[in-house]
Chains A and B, each alone.
Chain A
């Protein structure tokens, strides 16, 4: 596990930045949720007997959330030493 040797202040700054990234991911998800569901509700398109809005507004939102979690946890978040035994 790769961990940077950060000072306390740097760790808290990093954690603050990561919290902001998470908030932005939430904002993105809310927009996607609105567009995917309400935004496509008037379209007469069906997938597997389901209206498009129902597919995008459920499975689509779930996949979006998984992608957001992946980007956050694997790309944007950094491993840091929390100071406990598990980090030794």
Chain B
């Protein structure tokens, strides 16, 4: 691809990013005069069903879902789709279990963040501080993985004309800017655009893969002949039961406690919207998961070598895009995976920012009766969002290896920290401060320690250890610690 060709390929992405910034500025302008904190961090609880569904799906679907995942499907076969499809539970579970409860409590407590609710439930500033720290720490890990994954994809697809750093600046800096300006509502609307673009991208890529591979029948016949293991659920040993089991936890059941998903429960307007979002979200997340991974498998119709011939699983989708798409559409095609990346970054960025500004700074000021001027709060919120984003951007300039592992590590850490604290805290009267503290701190430390040591039981991902230890500690603390006071229980469990 020559320089001129590269710029033509880049144009759709540039236009897309300009539109994202434009949306952000427009939203900021429209929201002027409203309660800043509520508006900036949860969009004034005004999200409708469609946008709620799309922003939840887009934040959940990361660049790994669009690059690493289908690359693995190319290698493993239909067993990978069978494993990945467990993600269809992600939206109806989080909204069905936490959606209304969190919404009711947020309105009662005037809560803006998940940490606000945890603080009120367990009456502990220390626990809230740990929760905020865990959020910022693991979100930075996830965001780094998104930046690196997106920029690598960009460099691979645009060819020699543009570098990894160019990609990082083009989409990385822009996402930090538009998130800082527009806050949660802008994130939700841009997420919706990203989700729609992702779906169009999948359809386009699938179409061109089928065309280039000589049609569906031809590709499938070739797979049956040359890769019979791809049609077997265990893929002749490449897909052991342990992966199925841990993925059910990591990207299925335990995702209900991801703070970036739970916070969506604070942000919607009414229950009608929530109900619609459950249905729409399940349709969309299934379409994306099956669609992109199926495309990864069908890429065998155009990429005849093995994974190693293309430089690893992360290069399968970029190589497929370059191979099958017409040059004038390549720039459009990469918007889909990049949209997955930027929508996750923006969703995490705004929650990480709220953890620092709202959960730590503002709470400290309110506790000490020190009012904060609105203009100062606006400046601090935007500056914090920008600084976190810039910090992650700088880390991504020297890309760490093993992006997929960083992403899964962060996912597991967040789930270990928040799963029992939220689930038992919101549905079990006996849950108390000591249980939550032990569970969140102890579980997370054990999880990180086992990850660092590479310690596994039955070769299962360390999430199984983290989530089990976290539960045991929660139960021990709840049975031996002091019960929550009556006033708190009356709020959380009215009778």
Q: Which residues of A contact B (CB under 8 A)?
A: 1, 7-9, 11-12, 15-16, 18-19, 21-23, 25-26, 29-30, 33, 37-38, 41, 48-51, 53-54, 57-59, 61-62, 65-66, 68-70, 72-74, 77-80, 82-87
Contacts and interface: CB of A to CB of B under 8 A. Distances in A.
Interface in B254-307: 268-276, 278-279, 281-283, 286-287, 290, 294
Contacts of A79: 270-272, 275
A34 B217 CA distance: 28
Contact of A66 (B270, B286, B494): B286
B233 A22 contact: no
A18 to B, nearest CB: 7
B97 interface: yes
A82 B104 contact: yes
A8 B233 contact: no
Nearest to B44: A85
Contacts of B273: 86
B86 A26 contact: no
A59 B253 CA distance: 19
Contacts of A12: 101, 104, 493-494
Chain A binding surface SS class: helix
Contacts, number: 146
B26 interface: no
B46 interface: yes
B427 A87 contact: no
Interface stretch (B55-63, B77-85, B456-464): B77-85
- Indicate the member of B100, B281, B427 with the most A CB atoms within 10 Å: B100
Nearest to A40: B233
B85 A80 contact: no
Given A22-B93, A58-B82, A66 B233 contact: no
Interface string B88-108: 110111001110110110011
Given A49-B220, A54-B231, A62-B88, A86 B279 contact: no
